[in-house]
Structure 1
Amino acid sequence: MRADKTVLRGGAINSEWPFHKEDSMFVRAALTLALFAAGPALAGAPKLERTWLTQGFANPEGVAAAPDGALFISNVNGEGGARDGNGFISRVSKSGEILDLKFIEGLDAPKGMAVHDGLLYVADIDIVRIFDAATGAALDGAPIEGAQFLNDVTVWQDDVFVSDSGTGRVWRFTGTSIDLWREGAELQGVNGLTGAGEKMFISTMTSGSLFEATAAGGWRKIASGMENADGVGVIDGKRGGFLVSAWPGKIHHVSRKGAVTTIIDTMDAKIFQNDLTMIDGIVIVPNWEPGTVTAWRVRK
């Protein structure tokens, strides 16, 4: 299903349909993001250069790479904990064109997603829904007993992990079983999960912390103070570090030594910065409000 959409690339708007009245919020959002994208990089932190911004979504929250090179975007389409059956998954090209607005329908409040071995895993309140990533066909889901607010999903060490913000727990799917991987007071409001090689990076909303777990069992706090932290992206290269979104409207850079610098702040403009995900060096961020998805390139 095609969507009435507008794709903004760089500083120009490329529209296939005339603007409607509700597009005024999108235009304000685009202009606000353009100001931040054009601003100078702060000392020691990278600059984010916007490559595209697409409207037409309904409370978008999560992103995952599809096997064919497209992107999956989860749309909560309502309250984050509502069991209303109107959530859906969109397919979007890497250049921001909506290919199929409702590729998968009938979910409640889909959030984080990951693709593993041809399957799409979607966190949906208290169940991990599983689909054929190529066709969108629904397969058996995986309910998690006691889960309250499943949030993000990642693949690490050939297993699938999902965070439960409501209980401060992280669960692991080994392919044949589901087990509790980690819980504790420091994981209150656990949100973002990103597996990268021998390490997994975990963000929390309550303390706004970024943690590092290693395949050998290591655990350490990298940084804190990023209230309502959401998605985590790993920046490669000499300077490296991390990007951490905070859903009310911020994107932070975290150095390898744990120094936190806010490089995007759209809170006053009411532009949310949700589950930041890095795919092939591009930073993809759903904006729950005003219903857009923004792509950025990291300039060091």
Structure 2
Amino acid sequence: MKINAKSLLFGLSTTLLFAQCNPQKSEETSSEEVIVKEVKTPTLTKIWETDSTLTTNESVLYDAASGKIYVSNIEGQPTEKDGKGSISIIDKEGNIVSQDWVTGLNAPKGMGIANGNLYVTDIDQLVEINLESGEISNKYPVEGGQFLNDLATFDGKVYFTDMNTGKVHMLDAGMISSVTEGHESINGIAIGTDGTLYGLDKSGFKTLQTDGSSTILNETVTGGDGLVILGDGNYVASRWAGEVYFINAEGTETLLLDTKDASSNTADIGFIPGDNIVLVPTFFKNKVVAYKLDY
């Protein structure tokens, strides 16, 4: 049979045209794309520790302005007015720069910086120390104060807890007042950039309101000691017995550190932002241990 070349060419062109109008499904369009988000488990890695001369160290505070790290040492009983307490200074490598920067305190615990001063709780009074001279510039007795503990500063004001009375007090312009109460065994506190007050008490980790009400964010980390706000809804909290936790925005906790078997306490922790270093006062072990936080 004779095939006309022109007809053959037309047939091939038609076939190609239909092929272009009805393309095969590519692997890219036919397969479903599955995106799996990796969930990272936060970790702590030890990087240094100080000499064991920081007797009964309870709290650690990093000063970003100077790079100094302040350590409060009870050196006696937590409720005894014996004049043995002190404040030491260490550097970011764990070297003790000044063992006895401030002496003559009783049982210093929580610390914070405001208005050129270091503020320290000391059983039933708040002590004001000039950062430049290291001299005690004022003492503020707290009426009914029994066991003043953790401390945080915000907008020039000083907030601090009384673990025995369940109250949070505030120093503002030389006057002390009660901010909120009814929080059993409250210890660690921190203040967000928006002024939200966070606390650790017998019921767990929560936000505190001035009317005495609160909102529980985590019920596992009860009786907490130190509290650090990382940002983006993340926090680090310690329990004195020897536990450090990471708490995320959903309120879920991850145990980062457990030193109970070593009889090493984890009291009022500090934090070096930028470097992501958690500073752990070990209380009876008499040293500060630094850990790199990865999260």
- Match of 2:48, as an amino acid? W
Pick the aligned partner of 1:62 from 33, 46, 59. 59
Q: What letter corresponds to residue 108 of structure 2 in structure 1?
A: P
1:229 aligns to what? Answer: 224
Contact 1:65 1:115 in 2 (8 A): no
Whether contact under 8 Å (2:205, 2:222) holds in the other structure is no
Whole-Å Cα distance in 1 between the matches of residues 255 and 121 of structure 2?
28
Once residues 178 and 261 of structure 1 are traced to their aligned partners in structure 2, the CA distance between those partners, rounded to angstroms, is 37
Q: Secondary structure at the match of 2:188?
A: strand
Q: Secondary structure of the residue that 1:172 maps to in structure 2?
A: strand
Q: How far off is 1:214 after superposition?
A: 7.4
1:263 and 2:256 aligned: yes
Question: Which is greater in Rg?
Answer: 2
Change (3 A) 1:210 1:112: same
Q: Which runs of 5+ in 1 are unaligned?
A: 1-42
CA distance in 1, matches of 2:251, 2:66: 36
Over the aligned positions, Cα root-mean-square deviation in angstroms equals 2.0
Alignment partner, residue 118 of structure 1: 116
Q: Secondary structure at the match of 1:230?
A: coil
3-state SS in 1 of match to 2:50: strand
Gaps of 5+ in 2: 1-38
Identity of aligned residues (%): 29
Q: How far, CA to CA, are the matches of 1:88 and 1:249 in structure 2? A: 23
Instruction: Measure the CA separation in 1 of the matches of 2:152 and 2:222.
Output: 21
CA distance in 2, matches of 1:297, 1:196: 22
The residue number in structure 1 matching 2:191 is: 195
Matches within 5 A, 1:98-113: 98-113=96-111
TM-score by length of 2: 0.80
Deviations 1:192-237 (A, max 9, x none): 1112201232111x23x1112479x994211123243110112235
1:44: Cα distance to partner? 5.2
Encode CA deviations 1:61-98: one digit per residue, 9 max, x unaligned. Answer: 11223442111100000211111110100011121110
User: Which of 32, 36, 50 matches 2:46?
Assistant: 50
Number of residue equivalences: 252
Equivalent-residue separation in structure 1 for 2:102 and 2:41 (angstroms): 38
CA contact (8 A) 1:228 1:248 kept: no
User: In the superposition, relative to structure 1, how do residues 140 and 58 fare at CA in structure 2: closer, same or farther (>3 Å)?
Assistant: same
8 Å CA contact 1:172–1:179 kept in 2: the answer is yes
Rounded to whole Å, the distance in 2 between the matches of 1:86 and 1:182 is 31
Question: Bigger CA drift: 225-234 or 161-170?
Answer: 225-234
Partner secondary structure for residue 225 of structure 2: strand
Contact 2:42 2:254 in 1 (8 A): no
2:294 partner letter: R
